[in-house]
Amino acid sequence: MGLSSRDVQVTEQQVLNALSQVQEPELGGDLVSRRMIKDVQVDGGRVSFTVELTTPACPLKDQIRAEAEAAVAAVPGVETVLLEFSANTRQHAGLPEQAPIPGVSNVLAVAAGKGGVGKSTVAVNLAVALAQEGASVGLLDADVFGPSLPLMLGINGQPQAVQNEQGKAMILPLEGHGIKLMSVGFMIDENQPVIWRGPMASQLLRQFLYDVAWAPLDYLIIDMPPGTSDIALTLAQSLPLTGSLIVTTPQAVATTDVIKAMEMLKKVNVPLLGIVENMAYFVAPDTGTRYDIFGSGGAERLSTQLGVPLLGQIPLGMAVRAGGDSGNPAVSNAAPDAYAETFRQVARQLAARISVLKFVQ
C-alpha cells in the first residue's frame, strides 16, 4: 500500500533543491545560488517562501512565479505552495569624487537632444509606473528655466523645512501619485520667468539633490534640461548616475541631436540604459488607421547604430496629452489612447536594465 502525500515529510532542503533548478531569466544563475530565496517555511504539505527580486518592477515576475511554484509543487508531499515577492534594489556607488545622495539607491537621468520630444511626459509616466510596480520613487524637475512637472502631476504647494537626525535643515518634497516631487515651480509664481545664470541654476539643483529629504528611494528620476547645456553637463559629472534614458521622436532632426546628447553622456562615463521613441505613430480612434506623423524607424536606427537598446515606442495619444495638461498622468488612465501599459512595459524594461547592469559591473 503506497504512502499518501500526507505521509511524506517535506524538508526545507528539498524545497531549496527544487528551487535551485529555477533560473533567474535575466541575470542567469539559479534563484538559490543568487540568494534570492528567503524565509522558507514548511508546515506539513504547505510550503511558503519569498523571492527577493532585484527591483520591484521586474518585468519577468510572472515567469519567475510560474517556474518557482511548479518546481516546488513537484516535490513529493507538497500540497500547497505560497510564494511572495520582496525586492532589494542595490545602490549605485558612482565614482569616488561623486557624492551619493543618502538613502537613494539609483539616480536616473531622462535626457533628450532637443526640446519638444516629450521628455517630461516620459519622465513623469515612468516615475508613476515604477511606483505602481511597488518601487519608492522620487522625481526631480531639473529643467529650472521651464519647470512643468507640478502642472503635469497636479501637485501644488510650498515645500516645508524639517531637521534630520543630524540636525541639518532639509526640504520636504511634495507628494502625489505615489511619488515625491521637487521643482523650482513650487517656489516661483507660475507666470514668473526664471532669469538666472548657469551657476545659480546649478547651485539650486545641488540643493534639490542633497538638501531634500528624498530617502528612502529605490529610484530618483531626474528630468534633465534639453540638449547639452552646462547644467546638464554639471549634473552628469557631479552625480553618481546609475544611467541615462534618452527620449527621441522618429524624425531625423530629433535623432541627430540625440546622438550629440548621448556622446556627451558617454564622455562623462554615464551608462546609456536605453532609448524611448515618443510620439512614434498615431492611431486614428475612429478608423484605427496608423499614421507615421513624424516618420518612422529613427529610434531603431539609433539603437542599431549606437548599440543601445530600444526600450519602447510610445504612440501619440490624445489622452497622453490631456493627462499632462490636467495633472493626471497617462499611466493612471484606462483610456485606450493613454497607452498606460506601454509606459509600464518601458518602466519594467528600464528597471531590468538597471538590475542587469549592476550585476555585471
The answer to whether 117 is a known ligand-binding residue is yes
Q: Is the C-alpha dihedral spanning 208, 211, 213, 217 positive or negative? A: positive
Q: Which pLDDT belongs to residue 192? A: 58
pTM over the 0.85 mark: no
The answer to whether 260 is a known ligand-binding residue is no
User: Rounded mean pLDDT of 101-112?
Assistant: 90
Q: What is the pLDDT of residues 47-87, one digit of tens each?
A: 999 998 877 877 788 889 999 999 999 999 999 999 998 88
Domain ranges of the chain: 5-87, 104-360
Q: Rounded to the nearest 10 degrees, how much is the dihedral formed by the CA atoms of 106, 110, 113, 119?
A: 180
Q: What is the mean pLDDT of the chain?
A: 85
The answer to whether 266 is a known ligand-binding residue is no
CB of 169 closer than 8 Å to CB of 161? yes
Q: Which pLDDT belongs to residue 349? A: 92
Query: What would the CATH number be for the domain defined by 5-87?
Result: 3.30.300.130
The answer to whether 358 is a known ligand-binding residue is no
Band of residue 94 on the pLDDT scale cut at 50, 70, 90: very low
Degrees, nearest 5: CA angle 65-66-71: 100
User: Rounded mean pLDDT of 225-251?
Assistant: 77
The answer to whether 324 is a known ligand-binding residue is no
Q: What is the pLDDT of residues 182-208, one digit of tens each?
A: 998 887 766 555 555 556 667 778 888
Band of residue 168 on the pLDDT scale cut at 50, 70, 90: confident
Q: Which pLDDT belongs to residue 359? A: 60
The answer to whether 115 is a known ligand-binding residue is yes
Q: Which pLDDT belongs to residue 190? A: 63
Please state the CATH superfamily assignment of the domain spanning residues 104-360 in this structure: P-loop containing nucleotide triphosphate hydrolases (3.40.50.300)
> CB under 8 Å, gap of 24 or more: what pairs does 164-170 form?
164/213, 168/211, 169/211, 170/211, 170/212, 170/213
